[in-house]
Structure 1
Amino acid sequence: MKWGAIVGISVIVALMVLYEWPKMDQKQMKEKAALLALSGVGFILAILLVFFPDMPGPTDLVNMIYKPFGQILEK
C-alpha cells in the first residue's frame, strides 16, 4: 500500500515539473532551480508523511520556537 502511494506521489511530482518546465525560458536558470528545489522538498515531505503519518507539522515547530516568547510577553 505504501509503495502505491510513493508511486502516485512520484508520478504527480513528475507531471507537475514536466508541465511547468517547458513554460520557462531557457535563460531562467534560477527559476528552474527553484522549481526543482521546491518540488524536491515537497516530494521528500510527502514521502516522509507516508511512512510517518504522526510526524509533527510546521506549525508545531513554530509553536515550539515562539512559545517561550509568548510566555514572557504574557507576564
Structure 2
Amino acid sequence: MAIDVKGYSYFIERGDDKRWVATVAEYPELRGVSRIHNRALNELYAAVEAEVLRRYHAGEPIPAPPKKQPNLLKTLGLT
C-alpha cells in the first residue's frame, strides 16, 4: 500500500560532515541521512511511510499533515 507522506513538514540541512540530514516535524525521531540531497529526503519519506503504516496497523494515532498554507505571493498578486 503506497501512502502519500509528502504533506508533512520536512526540513533538510547539511551537517558538519557534509552529509544531508532530512527531518520531519511530525515524527522527530525519524531522519534520513546521505551525502546526496534527494537520497536523504527519499530515505526519510520511506521511513515516514513505514511509521504511518506501523501506527495504522497498531491502532495508534497518526499525525495529520499540516493544512496547506496559502501561496503568499499569489495572495499579494505578485504571481
Bin of the TM-score, shorter chain as denominator length: 0.3 to 0.5
Higher strand share: 2
Q: Radius of gyration: which is bigger?
A: 1
Q: TM-score, normalised by structure 1?
A: 0.35
Q: TM-score, normalised by structure 2?
A: 0.33
Higher helix share: 1
Higher relative contact order (CA 8 A, sep 6+): 1
